[in-house]
Amino acid sequence: MDDIKYDKNIDYGTPTSQSTKQVTLTVDDREVTVPEGVSIMHAAAVAGVMVPKLCATDSLEPFGSCRLCLVEIEGRRGYPASCPTPVAEGLKVHTQTPKLADIRRGTMELYISDHPLDCLTCAANGDCELQDMAGAVGLREVRYGYEGENHLKSTKDESNPYFTFDPSKCIVCSRCVRACEETQGTFALTIQGRGFESKVSAGNKNFLDSECVSCGACVQACPTATLIEKTVIEAGTPEHSVTTTCAYCGVGCSFDAEMKGEEVVRMTPSKHGGANHGHSCVKGRFAWGYATHKDRITTPMIRKNISDPWQQVSWDEAISYAANELNRINQTYGKDAIGGITSSRCTNEEVYVTQKLIRAVFSVNNVDTCARVCHSPTGYGLKQTLGESAGTQTFDSVMQSDVIFVIGANPTDGHPVFASQMKRRLREGAKLIIADPREIDLVANSPHIRADYHLKLRPGTNVALISALSHVIVTEGLVQEAFVKERCEWDSFVEWRDFVAKPENAPEALSEALGIDAKTLRDAARLYATGGNAAIYYGLGVTEHSQGSTTVMGIANLAMATGNVGREGVGVNPLRGQNNVQGSCDMGSMPHEFPGYRHVADDATRALFESAWDRPLSKEPGLRIPNMLDQAAEGNFKGLYCVGEDIVQSDPNTQHVTHALEQMECVIVQDLFLNETAMFAHVFFPGASFLEKSGTFTNAERRISPVRRVMTPKNGGLEDWQVTAKLAQALGYPMHYNHASEIMDEIARLTPTFKGVSFKKIDEMGSVQWPCDDENPAGTPIMHIDAFVRGKGKFFITQYVPTTEKVNAKYPLILTTGRILSQYNVGAQTRRTKNVAWHDEDILEIHPHDAEDRGIQEGDWVGIRSRAGDTVLRAKVTERVQVGVVYTTFHHPESGANVITTENSDWATNCPEFKVTAVQITRVNQLSDWQKHYKTFSEAQLAYAGRDLEAAKIELD
């Protein structure tokens, strides 16, 4: 039979089954065929029969507590609940009989006897399953009265900034508790007490102070108004809904923007989202208020010097000013003095038109993207070894993994929705190896999960770690030789094998450098090589090092040597930081590559683009972001078009970045806010938020998902790609598209891996994973199945070269940086939401031993000094970091985390070495000089734009 066509608007009550065996039964005289293992409730829903229910919902395992879903089955006694009862061949089920109606009505009467009758003024009015069920069972009276004991006077918990918990409306169906466990995996909620005393509890605390991570799964699961969004309480129920894609991390969750006219009422995770399957995190679910924040700049601005106040102008004036300036710079200094930078926060279409503008107008390839400072080593390393600059798997693949190896990634903070899926697999029993200098939550702080091995290595020793693990695999005969012989270049394997087998690569030899005992290294290597399907997940802890690319290649070597590529459950999985890191690289926003990772020196590719774009193009690789800044500092780079990116905050060695910007003559920033880079700009083009434009984002699993416009752009009606097209036009290069879909059509025409991609296909399929071409019209979930993209996989020798950033008497500690769940990247978006309730400043984590040596106590102000600069943060004394290592995040500009980081970078890609900076920490009692300067400077800059820093602060209730 055909697969069941699931309708996302129907709640099937219990999850579907993966069984391939089909079962046929009859529900109310309707014959229905379903996979074995589904519930009778589910089968009934497939047949179009909705059995009354309260505690069941198809995102959760059946629970069988509400007693509404009872049915009668011919030949069986009693009234079994249909949600936990599996289907069987030939069953004849009746869902509506007089007896069932009596039982259900009696049950509902009991529920309603302890529920406030305020439906008309309730926030869930019209969107309440209890209300629906009262209607469905025909409840007409409540005979018990309201005199007896009840829960109607329970106190409401309004501590969470985004939703309320009203126990008086709770029916104790446990959907929230189960969602917290099954969907999110945090186990913050429990049912406390027994019988009448049973109540939902966040561990005896209010929600904000509890373990709750505010993912919204409980709110989503709640059938009543007990857990409900504050925006719904304020605005009422939405009247229409548009499916779009989250603008935060690289998971790329699908959301339904639930609207009232042009106002978002709430964002709910889309049940059919390919990446998130109806789950969400605190950012995507709740932190979208920045889109309407009063800090938004909605009028174009220009100024001659950065010491001048901004002048508000029309779009035409701003575009014309910018074009004249770029033309002047081109004539005065030459084309090499001009470049563009895109952001992973841009859509594919925006990135594409920006790189097209720079290349076609100026015949130069100086166009880069912020992947430069995060995952550029992934692009390089995976292209070299496997042949394609992308992860090999789908997120769902993790459900087939037996061994999960997380290297330099913190999924529960950085990629929370995927982390929930990973945690589900880990609770099912998959083994876990973590390589991280710091004790991330997955190590031992996630309920029912404990890493089998935490390889707590010294920052900067990733390559040594990979070498040690490879040594064990090679010397203990754990290589899958048949796979290597068939799928890889044998000569490259032999070179690699002989190299890693050398005694200097043995765990015993590298143990001291790594700070991990040799036996643990050997055991972890054996588990990875022999534990079944083994999948590697890695993040910026791998790439942001002087040997970032080497580690990526080493990871690919490991996966190839053990045969862990090319099927479900295995693979090499870069966890991309931002929503469109993958896409911005795919779109040719790299100075050496056209869209689709084709080198600019390739004559055939260049001819293709020259013909399509009708301009001569350069065969020379352009400047990367750090090269642009270096050139600018020397006076050789003068004009920059920076779309959506904030290099001043996110790039290393802030003083160098700002000095470089100060030497430029025309910096054009296109953004929602006057970000840190805009403070050094001469032209400001107000951008459109993801709610205000059409386009696509491509997530970490190569999934191209739609971004849909749900409101008019607040900048006067222009989507960002339209601004770029106008600028191109003003520069004398016609760039006309009627809609973002036409840009994607052009991308598809010029890029083989995107040949089959169109907005129409994305509308039909929901999303599609590239490569999508004639051979794979429905996309490619798993790559390299029969052969590697490059043909044969290639091994590379990966010699460990210690970083030059060494600790010494002056700088005895290593600073490493990371992210936190509630904030996102430079924080421009999340700092302008109530997420500041969880993280309103960056904190320095320091080990108790190092703190004691320096007389530092929890909460003290500490100075952090590196050879690049110094800043001041408050200290948190914790054993999560190891002795000799300190850690912070970089979400707040006044923290100046990148004032400390240095210009050291990856050898192959210039990706900055954010993860290793030698520092000294001391107790201090005032801000650093940089911070004082920053305060004065930024206040002046905000005033130039007519902004008041204090007035813009997020107020918490």
Q: Does 495 bind other proteins (CB under 8 A)?
A: yes
In whole angstroms, what is the distance from residue 364 CA to residue 377 CA?
23
255 to 284: interface string for other proteins, x by CB under 8 A: ------------------------------
- Shortest approach of other proteins to residue 947 CB, angstroms? 36
| 640: three-class secondary structure by DSSP | strand
State the Cα–Cα distance between residues 377 and 392, nearest whole angstrom: 15
Quote the CA–CA distance of 919 and 507 in Å, as a whole number.
Answer: 28
Could you tell me if 696 and 705 are in contact, meaning their C-beta atoms sit under 8 angstroms apart? yes
Nearer to other proteins, 620 or 894 (CB): 620
591, 596, 779, 863: residue in contact with other proteins (rule CB under 8 A): 591
Residue 155 tokens read as: 């106190």
729 token code pair: 């036009």
Pick 34 or 488: Cβ nearer other proteins: 488
**Shortest reach from residue 546's CB to other proteins, in Å:** 7
Compute the least distance from the CB of residue 515 to other proteins, in Å. Answer: 22
C-alpha span between 554 and 863 (Å, rounded): 36
Contacting residue, 797, 807, 924, 952, with other proteins by CB under 8 A: 797
Minimum distance from CB of 503 to other proteins (Å)? 14
| Residue 363 C-beta: closest distance to other proteins, Å | 13
Q: Which is nearer to other proteins, 384 or 878 (CB)?
A: 384
Query: Can you tell me which of 385, 631, 675, 866 binds other proteins, judged by CB under 8 A?
Result: 631
Residue 79 · residue 103 · CB < 8 Å: yes
Asked if residues 342 and 584 have their Cβ atoms less than 8 Å apart, the reply is yes
| Residue in the structure block whose two tokens are 């430079």 | 826
Query: Phi-psi category of 772—alpha, beta or left, where left has phi over 0 and alpha has psi -120 to 50?
Result: beta
Strands laid side by side in the 534-538 sheet? 453-455, 431-435, 403-407, 534-538, 571-574
The answer to whether 245 and 706 are in contact (CB under 8 A) is: yes
Q: Does residue 627 touch other proteins according to CB under 8 A? A: yes
Contact status: 601 vs other proteins (CB under 8 A): yes
Of 192, 804, 857, 926, the one binding other proteins by CB under 8 A: 804
Structure tokens, 789: 């993209």
Note whether 801 binds other proteins by CB under 8 A: yes
Taking CB under 8 A as the rule, which mask of x and - marks residues 321-360 in contact with other proteins? ---------------x------------------------
Question: E-assigned strands of 842-902?
Answer: 843-846, 861-865, 870-877, 885-889
Of 246 and 625, nearer to other proteins (C-beta) is 625
Nearer to other proteins, 545 or 865 (CB): 545
Name which of 334 and 717 has its Cβ closer to other proteins: 334
Q: Closer CB to other proteins, residue 607 or residue 801?
A: 801
Q: Which is nearer to other proteins, 495 or 523 (CB)?
A: 495
Element (H, E) at 244: strand 240-245
Determine which residue in the list 41, 60, 390, 623 makes contact with other proteins, applying CB under 8 A: 623
Residue of 319, 297, 325, 292 whose CA lies nearest to 944: 297
656 versus 819: smaller Cβ distance to other proteins: 656
The string of DSSP codes covering 546-608 is TTHHHHHHHHHHHHHHTT-SSSTT-EEEE--SBTTHHHHHHTT-BTTEETTTEETT-HHHHHH
Fill in the amino acid letter for 100.
L
Maximum Cα–Cα distance across the chain: 91
Q: Which stretch binds other proteins (CB under 8 A): 75-83, 290-298, 559-567, 795-803?
A: 795-803
| 381 touches other proteins (CB under 8 A) | no
φ/ψ (deg, to 5) at 864: -120, 120
Q: What are phi and psi of 269, to 5 degrees?
A: -65, 135
Distance CA 746, CA 440 (A): 43
Closer to other proteins at the Cβ: 498 or 879? 498
Tell me the C-alpha distance between 137 and 114, whole Å.
17
**Is the separation of the CB atoms in 163 and 230 below 8 Å?**
yes
Measured CA to CA, the distance from residue 353 to residue 719 in angstroms comes to 12
Q: Which residue stretch of 33-41, 435-443, 623-631, 767-775 sits at the interface with other proteins (rule: CB under 8 A)?
A: 623-631
> Which two three-digit tokens encode residue 428?
């099912």
616 touches other proteins (CB under 8 A): no
Please say which residue, 261 or 334, places its beta carbon nearer to other proteins: 334
Of 86-94, 404-412, 491-499, 575-583, which segment contacts other proteins by CB under 8 A? 491-499
- Among residues 157 and 593, whose Cβ is nearest to other proteins? 593
- Of residues 893-932, those binding other proteins (CB under 8 A): 903, 905, 907-910
| 676 vs 913, beta carbon nearer other proteins | 913
Q: Whose Cβ is closer to other proteins: residue 241's or residue 909's? A: 909
What residues have CB less than 8 Å from 307, skipping those under 6 apart? none
Q: Pick the piece of the chain touching other proteins (CB under 8 A) from 26-34, 230-238, 632-640, 862-870.
A: 632-640
- With CB under 8 A as the rule, give the number of residues binding other proteins: 33
| 799 interacts with other proteins by CB under 8 A | yes
Among 340, 571, 588, 622, binds other proteins (CB under 8 A): 622
The whole-angstrom separation of Cα 663 and Cα 680 is 10
Question: Within 10 A of 154 (CB to CB), how many other CB atoms are there?
Answer: 15
* Shortest Cβ 636–other proteins spacing (Å): 7
Shortest Cβ 590–other proteins spacing (Å) = 10
**Does 634 engage in binding with other proteins (CB under 8 A)?**
yes
Select the span of 159-167, 621-629, 751-759, 820-828 touching other proteins (CB under 8 A).
621-629
DSSP state of 169: G
Is 592 a binding residue for other proteins by CB under 8 A? The answer is: yes
Q: Minimum distance from CB of 886 to other proteins (Å)? A: 25
Nearer to other proteins by C-beta: 534 or 908?
Answer: 908
Contact string (CB under 8 A) for other proteins, positions 536-565, x = contact: ----------x---x---------------
Q: What would the DSSP string read from start to end of 503-525? A: GGGSHHHHHHHHTS-HHHHHHHH
Q: How far is the CB of 547 from other proteins (least distance, A)?
A: 8
Residue 573 pairs in a beta bridge with 537
Dist. CA 474–CA 490, nearest whole Å: 14
Could you write out the DSSP letters of every residue in 743-754?
Answer: HHHHHHHH-GGG
For 198-226, letters b (16+ CB in 10 Å) and e give eebbbeeeebbebebbbbbbbbbbbbbbb
Task: Write down the least CB distance from residue 549 to other proteins, Å.
Answer: 8
- At residue 736's C-alpha, the angle toward residues 292 and 672, to 5°, is 20
Q: Which is nearer to other proteins, 176 or 868 (CB)?
A: 868
Least distance (Å) between residue 522 CB and other proteins: 23
Contacts of 927 (CB under 8 A, 6+ apart): 872, 935
Cβ 21 to other proteins shortest distance, Å:
53
Which residues of this chain interact with other proteins, rule CB under 8 A?
336, 365-366, 495, 498-499, 546, 550, 591-592, 599, 601, 620-624, 627, 630-631, 633-634, 636, 797, 799, 801, 804, 903, 905, 907-910
